[in-house]
Chain A
Amino acid sequence: MWNNIVNTVLLGTGKKQLRKDDLPPALSAIADTVLGDKSLDVETQFLHLAALALNYRQSGVTALQDSSVTLEAAPDELLPYCSPAACQALQTAIDMGLQALILYWMEACAAARQLAPPEFIPTLMDMAIKEKQWRNLALTVGGKRGEWLGQLNPAWAFKKIETTEERWQTGALEERKQVLAAIRQENPAQAREWLHQTWSQENAATRAELLEVLKINASEEDVPWLETLLTDKSTKVKNETWELLKQLPTSSITQAYWQLLKQSITPAKKGLLNKKSLDIHLQLPSDKRIADSGIQLISSSKNTNDDVFILYQLTAYVPPAWWEDYLQTDKKGVLSYFNNTELTEKFIQALGMAASRFRDLDWLRLIIKEGEDFYMDAMKILPVHDMEAYALRFLEKEAQFIIRILSERDYEWGLPITRELFKWIAKNPYQYNRNFFDKQIQNIPLLIAGELESFTPELPAYQATWKNTTEHIKRLLTCKAAINKSFSNTK
């Protein structure tokens, strides 16, 4: 019926007129009356009948009856939903648009083996579209309902990866690196084996990136395989391999460095008091591999000759403990050998670098304690307590580097270092804005909230900025506290 009416008006009543047959039988009688009324022009007749038909259509709507249309219900959840307080905390984090807090909430929820209420799942899934690394977590807190929605919405059809091996085999590079790093922490040999298995299928850039992960828990068991990689066509891969081998004492390159060092640096007694010292004479020709492995042969400083420069670098690449055997003395004794001449004094820094590289904490602690140099790598190796104490010592000199390293560590900072960091940031308000705190909220301890005002900088121009920042940090911490509290019973 309606098509007939529409077709008539499409052409216009000037060309086509509505007929009784165009209307349903129920309207025939009234159509006769209207069409028979010659006092009405054709347009009025059309409008009369179409208006009548409109209400006929409107009044006759019925629902479609079809029992074949079904939707399989989502399976029952196996885990409980989170508490109303947790929902509220999530809502606050979403309202504030704070991704770091939403992530923190999902981690807390997953750790508590609870689920996000269904109404939040679409928001979390939408976020996971953009943030790939959130997907597994979104699926975890979304529970069976999330998986079920993923079957209906292709954009949310994230594959929940159950096993780490599956994630390793099917994940994107960043995720694979994360998996490999986690495995390397727990089972270094397995991580090496996994990489070995897929090695031939990876492209050069991926090979280099994945190889870098093997720096975690690198051991002499890696050496045979790594040494075969020195023939790789890719320079990136070769460089990465050298970097790894240079931190392994049993590698032939470290041994070669040591041989050359032993030949070139010999113990001696000098002066009237027979002071213990070291003679330095670079023994050439050196092994070709020394240059190949990245050792610079020409000094970049006028004050240091090439021979000393080479030996300095080599010292940074051999375990400091070897000097104890070689010089037949303890750590302090080794340091005093090096300290006794102006030339070798500089090598203490190289020993510090070597201590970091070979993760020799005793040596590192001693050098840190005795010296005034800042070793960047030490920040990554020292246990949290020592690292924070070390960071406090050098904060004024190396603030930005220390803040960066602390930001990359996944743990809650101690109060003393947080205080000093915030004091420094308060004095440098343009380098660290709200975004910085948004991203670091997981690291910031709740207890700092009460002290924020005390960090107000002296410079009046910066005081208002810090006041605003303080308010923002407090809001973040309030939300973080609410998340912690709402999951505390199950943590």
Chain B
Amino acid sequence: MLLTEEHVIGLAPDDASRKAGSALASPGKWVSKGANTDALWGECQGSGSKPYQTQVDIINVAFKCSCPSRKFPCKHGIGLMLLYARQKDTFTDNTPPAWVSDWLSKRAEKKVEKSDKPVDENAQAKRLQARQQKVADGITELMLWMKDIVRNGLLQIPEKGDAYWENMARRMVDAQASGLAGMVRALGETNFYSEGWQLSFLDQLLRIYLVVQGYTQSADLDEPLQQELRSLIGFTQNQEALKQQTGIKDSWLVLSKQTTEEENLTTERYWLYGQHSRQSALVLQFYVRNQTRPEVLITPGIALQGELVYFPSPIPLRAIIKYPVSNISLPEVTGLEGWTQVTATETALFEQMPVRSERPYIVQQLTPVQHNLQWWLKDREERLMPLKAGYPNIWKLLALSGGKPLNMAILGKEQQYEPLGAWHNGSYKLL
């Protein structure tokens, strides 16, 4: 495993875990510890009578700890991995205890267990038809509601209460169109106090309209576009079926991890980029605080050697990882030459799918510069693109750049980009 201290620190879910994890990265804290080619394990004496059992599956990049914490990874995991990164030599025991080998073999069994259950195709088709009808009814109502907004104008919109948005979002949930529900909520969450709110509001309104129009007329569209639209409406994709498909094998750079939390649901967004395929990917992990936690560890700042399967889309982005994968050090990538290539790529993407989320690019030789009281990124052809307003890591970026160009991983679309990381003196620095 190639995890350095910096990588382990990057895995910590928050500052408190990082501090607490650092505090546990001393041999004295561990009653026992060991490592072999498959796993890393240790027993940490906590406040309870029995030590907590912490284990990391190195091959499948998974993690488990017997402590009650729901943080992922917990402080014991951070501490154990930090200790391993710092003092590998002290992990002299290479025979895994029963609790480690049991866990590893159970994980292996789980993969085999997942056999195909017989599917009642008739019942499935009926369920689908019923759902499509519900969605269609919901869409009719949504269209009326949107036309009302357009007819009456936006001037009074900021005065609408939360119920105005929430009622329509709930109606979409009832219509089993959770994707539309989310888009309606996002519309209501427009910052009506910010200058130019009308622009972002109208953009979101039109995105909903495009999705609805595309979906209702999807019979004439290509299969991947149909699938993408269905997914935007809220139809889920069977991930197990997806995993059966052949993916793209590559060295995937983990460019960044973004974590958001809403109503106890933690969403981790990992932005990846394939060294040879030159494709970007978004891998999502969800877990509910105090109920579940993911077992998979994806470390920003290193690369995964393995296979990714994309969700069907004319412009594939969201993907799932087919395990096993292995961690490797970050390979070299060339990336795009400048903004002309980025905007050309963006145009091509919008041509295929006008409603789409931001995606990462690797762009060579960008320099942060100041223009009209705003920070921009200038390429070597002296083309400028503004940084996302309120980008928080501008000073770290400037410190790394020193006014000189850097190869950067950026995330964005249209005219809003934020650097995720930058190559500085040959190493990738997370921002």
Taking Cβ atoms with an 8 Å cutoff, the residues of A that contact B are 2, 5-6, 9-15, 41-44, 46-47, 50-51, 54-55, 58-67, 69-74, 88, 91-92, 95-97, 118-119, 121-122, 125, 145, 148-149, 152-153, 471, 474-475, 478
Beta-carbon contact of B347 and A60 below 8 Å: yes
Query: In whole Å, how far is A204's beta carbon from the nearest beta carbon of chain B?
Result: 42
By secondary structure, the A interface counts as helix
* Cα(A204)–Cα(B192), bound, Å: 55
For window 355-402 of chain B, which residues contact chain A by CB distance below 8 Å? 367-371, 376, 378-379, 381-385, 395-396, 398-400, 402
Query: In whole Å, how far is B22's beta carbon from the nearest beta carbon of chain A?
Result: 5
* Cα(A91)–Cα(B22), bound, Å: 10
* B346: interface (CB < 8 Å): yes
* B9: interface (CB < 8 Å): yes
* B102: interface (CB < 8 Å): no
Query: In whole Å, how far is A472's beta carbon from the nearest beta carbon of chain B?
Result: 8
Beta-carbon contact of A149 and B198 below 8 Å: no
Closest 9 pairs between A and B when the two form their complex, measured CB to CB: A12-B153, A73-B403, A63-B339, A63-B383, A74-B402, A43-B147, A55-B354, A122-B395, A118-B399
| Nearest neighbor of B342 in chain A, beta-carbon distance | A63
Contacting residues, chain B, for A13 (C-beta < 8 A) = 150-151
Query: In whole Å, how far is B419's beta carbon from the nearest beta carbon of chain A?
Result: 13
* Cα(A398)–Cα(B23), bound, Å: 34
Query: In whole Å, how far is B21's beta carbon from the nearest beta carbon of chain A?
Result: 9
Beta-carbon contact of A54 and B26 below 8 Å: no
* Cα(A50)–Cα(B150), bound, Å: 11
Beta-carbon contact of B399 and A475 below 8 Å: no
Contact A63 to B379, CB < 8 A, known contacts A74-B403, A119-B429: yes
Beta-carbon contact of A69 and B376 below 8 Å: yes
Residue tally, chain B, CB below 8 Å to A: 63
Contact A12 to B202, CB < 8 A, known contacts A71-B403, A95-B19, A118-B402: no
* Binary flags per residue of B178-189, CB closer than 8 Å to A gives 1, else 0: 000000000000
* B99: interface (CB < 8 Å): no
Contacting residues, chain A, for B26 (C-beta < 8 A) = 471, 474-475, 478
Contacting residues, chain A, for B6 (C-beta < 8 A) = 91
Taking Cβ atoms with an 8 Å cutoff, the residues of B that contact A are 5-6, 9, 18-19, 22-23, 26, 28-29, 146-147, 150-155, 198-199, 202-203, 206-207, 209-210, 213, 338-340, 342-343, 346-347, 350-351, 354, 367-371, 376, 378-379, 381-385, 395-396, 398-400, 402-404, 413-415, 424, 429
Beta-carbon contact of A73 and B404 below 8 Å: yes
| Nearest neighbor of B23 in chain A, beta-carbon distance | A475
The interface centre, meaning the residue of A41, A58, A69, A70 with most chain B CB atoms within 10 A of its CB, is: A58
Beta-carbon contact of B343 and A63 below 8 Å: yes
Contact A119 to B383, CB < 8 A, known contacts A43-B150, A97-B19: no
Choose one: A14, A125, A478; the contact of B152 (CB below 8 Å).
A14
Beta-carbon contact of A6 and B202 below 8 Å: yes
* Cα(A91)–Cα(B338), bound, Å: 33
Sample of 6 A–B contacts (CB below 8 Å): A54-B206, A59-B346, A59-B351, A61-B347, A69-B376, A118-B402
Beta-carbon contact of B22 and A95 below 8 Å: yes
* Cα(A71)–Cα(B9), bound, Å: 33
* Cα(A125)–Cα(B399), bound, Å: 11
Query: In whole Å, how far is B379's beta carbon from the nearest beta carbon of chain A?
Result: 7
Contacting residues, chain B, for A14 (C-beta < 8 A) = 151-153
Beta-carbon contact of A149 and B150 below 8 Å: no
Contacting residues, chain B, for A475 (C-beta < 8 A) = 22-23, 26
* Cα(A15)–Cα(B154), bound, Å: 12
Query: In whole Å, how far is B80's beta carbon from the nearest beta carbon of chain A?
Result: 16
| Nearest neighbor of A54 in chain B, beta-carbon distance | B206
Choose one: B209, B340, B367; the contact of A51 (CB below 8 Å).
B209
Contacting residues, chain A, for B354 (C-beta < 8 A) = 51, 54-55, 58
* Cα(A300)–Cα(B415), bound, Å: 81
Contacting residues, chain A, for B339 (C-beta < 8 A) = 62-63
